[in-house]
């Protein structure tokens, strides 16, 4: 397994990490993702460690905390071998302080996560969404306290916009608070919006991308094909409306290109999609998930080989979309490209 620095921090993370969203399996969304119990989770963790995957990602909102509980139990006795990443800020209840990033919420969320995970520290603590109702100064001061107390080692964000990220980094610099080193983002061959603003920001500010849903919310598993109904076992039947939308025409254009390259390489479609992501600028780690051992072992086949430049170019062309404003006026102007370094 290749290890990379998380942004410009000193922390090294595996190129592939494991997402524990399938652990616990409570509620309409997470129950559809998977219902992995402790025994099954231990087996998946065993396989990950054997392959060099040493970072495990979860969140307090996943199955109402059950994901953290199952992950903590599965890691028992080998906590010092791994990195644990979790997230907070999304609603976990109906109370007035059960959502957001206030001082009260962050301290309680951190303590609850430590208890559920059965650990004394969190290696990467991320805000799952931007809280516009809490001053950034309050958020960063609280996170600083958690770092100084030894309960958190590194800080990150997830699903922030460019201005939200940059404002937070500027406030951190102004007051000498710890900087965010990671941005957990949606990025895939059928979802490349990350490249327009957040990727250049990551390059400029030293933020490492930790990629979620690299297979486009389950659309790039190799089971979704043009002219065919969704497979009976696909989670998209229950979860499609929760995730990033993808137009069918665009999806099938990408899948056609993946199928061609699969025939040339002998690799599975998801392995090719993951390998493409691992080559992208700013990407520190790609989170893979699995409901069973077979899925996990297939995803592990994304490393240890490389697409050719010509194959990458074909995937780039098949997955390209028109640039959103304010980027589109300059997308095809060669002179503008000289104003900033290329990011793709």
- DSSP, collapsed to helix, strand or coil, labels residue 183 as strand
Give CA–CA dist 35/37, Å, rounded. 6
Sign of the Cα torsion 315, 318, 321, 327 reads: positive
DSSP code, position 43: H
Active-site residue (options: 62, 180, 186, 187): 62
**Position of tokens 């025994």?**
39
Specify burial of residue 342 (Cβ count, 10 A radius: 0-12, 13-18, 19+). Answer: exposed
Residue with tokens 């490349």: 192
Q: Which two tokens stand for residue 252?
A: 């099938």
Q: Can 252 be counted among the known catalytic residues?
A: no
Between the alpha carbon of residue 239 and those of residues 11, 186, 218, 242, the distances in Å are 34, 16, 9, 5
Cα dihedral value 282, 102, 60, 92, nearest 10: -130
Give the residue numbers marked as catalytic: 62
């Amino acid at each position: 397994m290749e290890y990379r620095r998380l942004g410009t921090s000193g922390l090294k993370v595996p190129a592939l990490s494991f997402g524990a969203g399938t652990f616990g399996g409570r509620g309409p969304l997470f129950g559809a993702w998977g219902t992995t119990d402790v025994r099954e989770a231990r087996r998946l963790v065993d396989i990950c460690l054997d392959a060099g995957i040493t970072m495990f990602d979860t969140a307090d909102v996943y199955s109402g905390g059950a994901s953290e509980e199952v992950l903590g139990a599965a890691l028992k006795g080998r906590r010092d071998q791994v990195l644990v990443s979790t997230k907070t800020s999304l609603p976990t209840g109906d109370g007035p302080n059960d959502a957001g990033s206030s001082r009260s919420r962050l301290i309680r969320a951190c303590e609850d996560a430590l208890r559920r995970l059965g650990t004394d520290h969190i290696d990467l603590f991320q805000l799952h969404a931007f809280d516009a109702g809490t001053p950034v100064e309050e958020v960063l001061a609280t996170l600083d306290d958690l770092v100084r107390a030894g309960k958190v080692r590194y800080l990150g964000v997830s699903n922030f916009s460019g201005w939200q990220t940059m404002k937070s980094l500027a406030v951190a610099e102004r007051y000498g608070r710890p900087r965010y080193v990671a941005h957990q983002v949606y990025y895939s061959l059928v979802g490349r919006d990350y490249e327009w603003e957040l990727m250049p920001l990551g390059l400029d500010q030293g933020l490492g991308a930790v990629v979620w849903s690299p297979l486009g919310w389950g659309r790039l598993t190799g089971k979704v094909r043009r002219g065919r109904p969704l497979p009976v076992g696909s989670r998209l039947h229950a979860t499609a409306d929760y995730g990033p939308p993808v137009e069918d025409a665009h999806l099938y254009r990408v899948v056609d290109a993946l199928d061609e390259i699969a025939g040339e390489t002998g690799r599975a479609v998801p392995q090719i999609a993951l390998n493409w992501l691992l080559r992208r600028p700013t990407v520190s780690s790609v989170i893979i998930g699995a409901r069973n051992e077979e899925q996990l072992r297939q995803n592990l086949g994304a490393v240890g080989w490389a697409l050719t430049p010509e194959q990458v170019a074909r995937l780039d062309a098949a997955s390209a979309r028109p640039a959103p404003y304010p980027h589109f006026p300059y997308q095809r102007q060669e002179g503008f490209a000289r104003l900033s370094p290329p990011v793709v």
